[in-house]
Structure 1
Amino acid sequence: MKAVLLILCSAALLGGCGKDEEAAEPVRPVLSTVVQPQVQAQLGRFAGTIQARYESTLGFRVSGRIARRWLDVGAQVKPGDILATLDPTDQQNQLRAAEGDLARVQAQWINAQANARRQQQLYDRGVGAQAQLDIAQTDLKTTGASLEQARAAVSQARDQLDYSTLRSDNAAVVTAWRAEAGQTVSAGQEVVTLARPDVKEAVIDLPIGLAEQLSKDLTFTVAAQLDPAVNTTATLRELEPQADATTRTRRARLTLASTPAAFHLGTAISVNLSSAVTPRSELPLSALLERDGKTQVWVLDTQQKTVALRDVTLIDRTASSIVVASGVQPGERVVTAGVNSLKPGQPVSFDEDAQ
């Protein structure tokens, strides 16, 4: 009898333990991420170069054959430095001819002065005719005008000779030669391109669709491709109105907030575009739970180590992520895996260092 009672008591105890175990919720391990606020929307990343804001293409002001190029591409020049010279033979001949004409007219003017003085003296003594005096004075004025014309011709010939030497107007860097020594060029033809290195800007090509949506609140982050640690911000200065027919892009020129020393002319750069947006958060697509037309996520209670469903508002969705406008707060932790096997209040374990 005692043995039977002992067996019955043991069975009752075992039955009670089983009910407690069934009542306890299993602790489920989950993956999670911390909600990070996003106030800038990334619009893209583009390659570009550092260029001079001010460039000028120079040419000779007279025609002729280029006798010599004094500098190569990449050379730095100061104001007044010689870039190239023409064969000056034609200009020298013109100057000599003009100087000869000037000497001839000067001799005529001296004779006209002497004749005018003589006729004036004769007229004052009463032995000269008024007509002769008038002729002498008119000849003096005509010769004086010819003298001024001859002097102007000499000055012009000297200028033409000076124009056969091409000089730099500013401190700059030679970036391109468009004519070679021995080549005959016409007046105004492009010969050399100079870039002023004191003011630099970033130049990139943007797709037409993006270029048409650019706004003033856009932020450009400019970094050197070889060393991203060298970077600065920039603002849009100019957007070319016409798209390139081949690439279907429009060129944008950006004013740099500062110019790092490593930003030399021609430096390859990477430009990130971002725009200010209303606060939002980006989460993995695996965090999304869709039921009964609702979009929800599991939010972790890090103190109680349980989960709760939270309705969220989506504003964008990609193949790997969602962008949430409301429903979660920065710093909260959201489950990113196994969302279909959880239920409200379920105990979970998670890696508190996971971001």
Structure 2
Amino acid sequence: MKRLIVMLAAGLALAACSKEEPAPDPVRPVLSMQVKAEDQENLGRFAGTIQARYESNLGFRVPGRIARRLVDVGAEVEKGALLAVLDPTDQQNQLRAAQGDLARVQAQFINAQANARRQQELFNRGVGAQAQLDVALTDLKTTQASLDQAKASVNQAKDQLNYAELRTDHAGIVTAWNAEAGQVVSAGQQVVTLARPDIKEAVIDLPASLAERLPPDGVFLVAGQLDPSVHTTATVREIEPQAQSATRTRRARLTLAETPPAFRLGTAISVTLSTAITPRIELPVSALQDVDGKTRIWLLDTQTQTVQPRDVTVISREGGSALVNGGVKAGERIVTAGVNSLKPGQKVKIDEDSPR
């Protein structure tokens, strides 16, 4: 009996020794990210340009045919610079005609002066009639008025000749030409656009629906399209009251907080609109795991390279992201891919491509 018991004990010991030890959970590669709290809401990104706040549309003050155009688009001009000239033939003819009328009236005035002087002398000696003196004085006054009118006509003709030259009244940059040499233009017709480069602003087109609900504290981030590292902030200066019928957009002009040298007139820019919000945490949907009616995430301990689950409250889901409230803090690292294959305390390997 004792021998049988010893044999059974030995058999059990051999059986226990023959059982294999359970293999540890494999180290799984995962993607991860560091949680960040967002305090700005992005309302959209728009394309625009840098333009001058003040622009002048210049034109000739007299009609005529453009003889020469002296500057090109993009040229910087000083105050008083000559931009274009009209064919001055008509104005020169008008000046010659006015000068001829002036010479004729001057001769009449000299004759009227002599006649009035003669009649006055005769009247003073008692041999001249009062009626003749009155006629001579009246003729002198009439001729004087005609002389003043002729002089004014000459001055006006000189001004008309000067108006055949289009000059700037301030320094600026030529941004557009609306007429070419040889073209006949009317008085006041827009010929050239001149921009003042001292004050620049960003110009964008906003959807009418967004323009109507712009937050009062909305901040625009303005960056160059070719070099996004050149950027500044801006606020709304004015918005067109009516939307454009074709695009249903309203043009907005933004005052720049700073004007980097790279923001030259015509520079293409990218404008992002954001507004301050209560800090919130946005996570990718791939980081969430639904288990037994609850939603959880996997926190990653970078020191031990292990993971632990934690329940979170999802506020909303949209597209590939979700807003969560509680359960995770800014600065913590979570797993963003491979959550369905994890166990509490399991060791993981962080993929080198994971954002740090």
Q: Same fold (TM over 0.5)?
A: yes
Distance 1:215 1:147 in 2: 68
Aligned to 2:37: 37
Q: Please give the secondary structure, in 1, of the residue aligned with 2:41.
A: strand
1:62-101 to 2 correspondence within 5 Å?
Answer: 62-101=62-101
Q: Measured at CA, do residues 272 and 13 of structure 1 come closer, stay the same or move farther in structure 2, by a change above 3 Å?
A: farther
> What's the offset of the Cα at 1:67?
1.4
1:126-173 per-position Cα deviation (integer Å, ceiling 9, x unaligned):
444433333333222222222221111111111111111111222222
Single out whichever of 5-14 and 284-293 deviates more from structure 2.
5-14
Task: Give 2:310's aligned amino acid.
Answer: L
- Using the size of structure 1 for normalisation, the TM-score is 0.83
- Using the size of structure 2 for normalisation, the TM-score is 0.82
Task: Give 1:275's aligned amino acid.
Answer: T
Q: Measured at CA, do residues 336 and 127 of structure 1 come closer, stay the same or move farther in structure 2, by a change above 3 Å?
A: same
> What's the offset of the Cα at 1:224?
1.9
Q: Please give the secondary structure, in 1, of the residue aligned with 2:241.
A: coil
Tell me if the contact between 1:26 and 1:347 (Cα under 8 Å) persists in the aligned partners: no
> What's the offset of the Cα at 1:300?
5.7
Aligned to 1:347: 345
Q: Measured at CA, do residues 302 and 179 of structure 1 come closer, stay the same or move farther in structure 2, by a change above 3 Å?
A: closer
Aligned length: 348
Distance 1:238 1:350 in 2: 55
Aligned to 1:266: 266
Aligned to 2:155: 155
Q: Measured at CA, do residues 42 and 184 of structure 1 come closer, stay the same or move farther in structure 2, by a change above 3 Å?
A: same
Q: Please give the secondary structure, in 2, of the residue aligned with 1:312.
A: strand
> What's the offset of the Cα at 1:33?
3.0
Q: Please give the secondary structure, in 1, of the residue aligned with 2:254.
A: strand
1:10-40 per-position Cα deviation (integer Å, ceiling 9, x unaligned):
958997xx9xx99xx9698565432201111
Q: Please give the secondary structure, in 2, of the residue aligned with 1:60.
A: coil
Q: Measured at CA, do residues 67 and 342 of structure 1 come closer, stay the same or move farther in structure 2, by a change above 3 Å?
A: closer
Distance 2:334 2:246 in 1: 47
Tell me if the contact between 1:313 and 1:327 (Cα under 8 Å) persists in the aligned partners: no
Distance 1:324 1:151 in 2: 86
> What's the offset of the Cα at 1:279?
0.7
Aligned to 1:310: 311
Tell me if the contact between 1:299 and 1:310 (Cα under 8 Å) persists in the aligned partners: no
* Identity among equivalent pairs (%): 64
Single out whichever of 237-246 and 301-310 deviates more from structure 2.
301-310
Single out whichever of 76-85 and 119-128 deviates more from structure 2.
119-128
Aligned to 1:143: 143
Distance 1:333 1:301 in 2: 7
Q: Is 1:278–2:278 an aligned residue pair?
A: yes
Tell me if the contact between 1:46 and 1:272 (Cα under 8 Å) persists in the aligned partners: yes
Distance 1:113 1:127 in 2: 19
Q: Measured at CA, do residues 6 and 119 of structure 1 come closer, stay the same or move farther in structure 2, by a change above 3 Å?
A: farther
1:62-88 per-position Cα deviation (integer Å, ceiling 9, x unaligned):
111111112222222212111111111
Please, which runs of 5 or more residues in structure 2 have no aligned partner?
none
Aligned to 2:226: 226
Distance 1:303 1:8 in 2: 46
Distance 1:252 1:242 in 2: 11
Please, which runs of 5 or more residues in structure 1 have no aligned partner?
none
Tell me if the contact between 1:37 and 1:281 (Cα under 8 Å) persists in the aligned partners: yes
